[in-house]
Chain A
Amino acid sequence: MENYYIFKIILVVALFVVSLLVAMYSTYGERKISALMQDRIGPNRAGPMGLLQPLADGIKMFMKEEIIPNVSNKALFILGPCLAMTTALMAGVLIPWGGKIELWGETFDLQVADLNIGVLYIFGVTSLGVYGIMIGGWASNNKYSLMGAIRASAQMISYEIAMGLAIIALIMSTGTMSLGEIAAQQDAGLANIVYQPLGFLIFLICAFAELNRAPFDMPESESELIGGYHTEYSSMKLGLFLFAEYINMFISSAVIVTFYFGGYNYPFQHEVNEALGLSTNLATALGTLIMFGKIFFFIFFFMWVRWTLPRFRYDQLMRLGWKSLIPIAILNILITGVVMWMNGKLN
């Protein structure tokens, strides 16, 4: 039992470090990818190929003057970015990062907590994320910040419904709400994307909206709202907001991969493991590596879309959410139900 707790503590710390590291290099990746897509070079001064750029950015953020506006609500103003960062880091504990691992003669799952209501927990935590933005925007006492906060919360409410409905169809076909089981099921069968292509599309679109990323970056929209909810923020508080966005991106990529793309599983993994004669730990490591490959693809995909599509107008955003995605999601549930009934899975 003691080993169990030691392992979990190590895993949590490792997860914390990896989340921060991935988020750090996502900022670099975003700048580099946007540069490549616009036929530029991007950061290339700090270190070879600009690889130390995130460090330089971090130092810059810490060294800058910190301004708290006189008219702001100081306690809430400080609470905003803290909340955004905390909730961003909370969702990672539920993701199954790999299969079984053998340590000190015992077998552990490479997952911090396998809650039987894991999907609900993830939803709860991601919806808490908007509170950081709302509180930060409201406490700034600035009309642009408030506008950004209002848009963020309206957008979050609208798209959470469609996202939830897309997930209901997934839960219907998998029959479980535990992320560990969802990932394990896809080892035996096919990846969930085969059963839920429409659900995946809806989930992906809603993920963009939940992350406040282009083309749904309404709360920030620098051309209309001068940065939206973080207009008044400076120094590392601004850094926390921006950083939370990248951590969210990492976690939601991991969630998408777990839900729809088999998580740490890959095609013919048992055959590959046997052919290479890998031990349990090495096979798990390979699975985790492949999972990170999938996650990085989705992070790249988020950036790719951001630097391709222009921003939606606010009414277009609402129309897409309420009039297109929610009906399609309900239709998806219906189709899932009919297909399951025809296959005799409902009884």
Chain B
Amino acid sequence: MQPLTNRSKVVVKKEMTLLEKMYIPAILNGMMITFKHMFKKSATIRYPEEKREFSPIYRGQHVLKRDDNGAERCTACGLCAVSCPAEAITMQAAERKEGEEKLYREEKYAANYEINMLRCIFCGLCEEACPKEAIFLTDRIVPTEFERNDFVFGKDKLVEKMDDRIDVTKRQTQDVLDFKQNKQYSHNKLK
């Protein structure tokens, strides 16, 4: 029969020589290999103490940004929830009351805003969709929890703290900014 490839090899079952039958040279050879490995550097990264360097465009846990005066940017328009392919985002809107101007930037705000971190696929489409530049994905790792319900992050975990502002500029490389420019057009494309 004609071989299909030129990589075929004839299998030879040759008898072992006496030295090979004794196994001892082969065993010593193997033991030298394991012994050498004892002095090699291990590849382990001791996670909580050491952290692997992230890619500059790593997409991790979300943050809801405040503006420079500390008012929440989000207006509960719902575009992030609509754009979310995993349907991880839900929100309830509320109207801003008299005297709450310091807290919320515009007349409408999100009274509840929840992201289910078990559903989220960290695609970043919410960030792309947001017209108010309120939601960003950061280089933080989502912490682990023991209960499923604890993975539904509310506003307490998502909105950045006033005294602990989160830097999102790291991710905004030129490539990302170029990509975001296109969002003005991508919604208007014909079906």
Contacts and interface: CB of A to CB of B under 8 A. Distances in A.
Interface of A: 33, 35-41, 44, 304-305, 307-309
Contact of B43 (A36, A39, A305): A39
Given A36-B38, A37-B38, A38-B37, A308 B44 contact: no
Contacts of B35: 37, 304
Nearest to A45: B46
Contacts of A37: 34-35, 37-38
Question: For this complex, into which size category does the number of interface residues on chain B fall?
Answer: 10 to 19
A309 B42 contact: no
Main secondary structure of the interface of A (DSSP, over half): loop
Nearest to A36: B38
B7 interface: no
A309 B30 contact: yes
B12 interface: no
Interface string B14-40: 000000000000010011011101101
Nearest to A305: B31
Contacts of A39: 37, 40-43
Nearest to B45: A41
Nearest to B36: A37
Contact of A304 (B31, B44, B46): B31
Nearest to A35: B42
Given A33-B38, A36-B37, A304-B35, A41 B30 contact: no
A40 B38 contact: no
Contacts of A36: 37-38, 42
A304 B34 contact: yes
Contacts of B33: 308
Nearest to B33: A308
Contacts of B43: 39
29 contacts: A33-B38, A36-B37, A36-B38, A36-B42, A37-B34, A37-B35, A37-B37, A37-B38, A38-B37, A39-B37, A39-B40, A39-B41, A39-B42, A39-B43, A40-B42, A40-B44, A41-B42, A41-B44, A41-B46, A304-B31, A304-B34, A304-B35, A305-B31, A307-B34, A308-B30, A308-B31, A308-B33, A309-B27, A309-B30
A308 B43 CA distance: 20
Contacts of B27: 305, 308-309
A207 to B, nearest CB: 15
A41 B43 CA distance: 9
Give 5 nearest A-B pairs by CB, closest first. Answer: A36-B38, A308-B34, A37-B34, A41-B44, A39-B42
A25 to B, nearest CB: 18
Of A33, A41, A44, the most chain B CB neighbours within 10 A belong to A41
